[in-house]
Structure 1
């Protein structure tokens, strides 16, 4: 059913939960997993802070890959630069994923309207199924 799954990952508790669900689905369906992190890094020389930030992001992706590999799931990681929502959308469209999984912070409607939402953007703009993983209400 799902041959190629994309999970948006940023190292947050919500993205770790989304990754866990993605790994579970990949094991069930024998799917390939793509873990993608999109970041807005400033265009600085390599001696600036952007290189250090990029190394930190790469470490987060390496930990995500280790989780998938430990579960026996084929995984490829991608570190992309750009506005998070539009970069994830473009990557998902270009690579024709069967399913996109993204964590949600569970912001209220007013905050989502004022700040925007990656998950809302992806649901509205992708043609494939998008699974939004959010915390249960306490």
Structure 2
């Protein structure tokens, strides 16, 4: 099964990865994992002021800061994965990447806001659920 692990470097991501590490059946079932992180875009005016080298460096640094601990945790759990990152809005990018890559499952952490909070504030997880045709497993 092709599984997309959507990560953002938060405690919720750590919980999701810990869940995978504790349940060895995920690692031993021959799944193909891809870890995916979305870096929020720098506003256009700020990017124009900072210049392309600084903006590109920011994107690469953000991805490295989020993905390196994930790489270490998965390696410690004997889970092999590919690592990808994109620049954009997280929910849209996760849903599009999952569908385009023909993944069988998306796994991501979730804060566990109540329905009213999600209605008012929204959340990446809620937006992914709404936009994605691939099944999504939320780990709280």
Give the TM-score of the pair, scaled to structure 1. 0.82
- Tell me which of the two structures has the higher relative contact order, counting C-alpha pairs closer than 8 angstroms and 6 or more residues apart: 2
Is the partner of 1:77 in helix, strand or coil?
A: strand
After superposition, the CA RMSD in angstroms is 2.0
> Per-residue CA shift, 1:76-130, capped at 9, x if unaligned?
1111110110011000000011111111112232321122222122223323321
Give 5+ residue unaligned stretches, structure 2: none
Give 5+ residue unaligned stretches, structure 1: none
Q: How does 1:61-76 map to 2 (within 5 A)?
A: 61-76=67-82
Query: What is the distance in 1 between the residues matched to 2:20 and 2:133?
Result: 19
Identify the residue that residue 12 of structure 2 maps to in structure 1. 14
Query: What is the distance in 1 between the residues matched to 2:115 and 2:58?
Result: 35
Query: What is the distance in 2 between the residues matched to 1:20 and 1:33?
Result: 15
Say whether the 8 Å CA contact 1:26–1:32 is kept in structure 2: no
Q: Which structure's CA Rg is the greater one? A: 2
Whose helix fraction is larger, Structure 1's or Structure 2's? 2
Identify the residue that residue 117 of structure 1 maps to in structure 2. 123
Query: What is the distance in 2 between the residues matched to 1:11 and 1:83?
Result: 15
> Per-residue CA shift, 1:2-60, capped at 9, x if unaligned?
x2111110111101111233454531312121111112121522454662353133122
Query: What is the distance in 1 between the residues matched to 2:124 and 2:13?
Result: 12
Is the partner of 1:62 in helix, strand or coil?
A: helix
Identify the residue that residue 32 of structure 1 maps to in structure 2. 32
Q: How many residues align?
A: 132
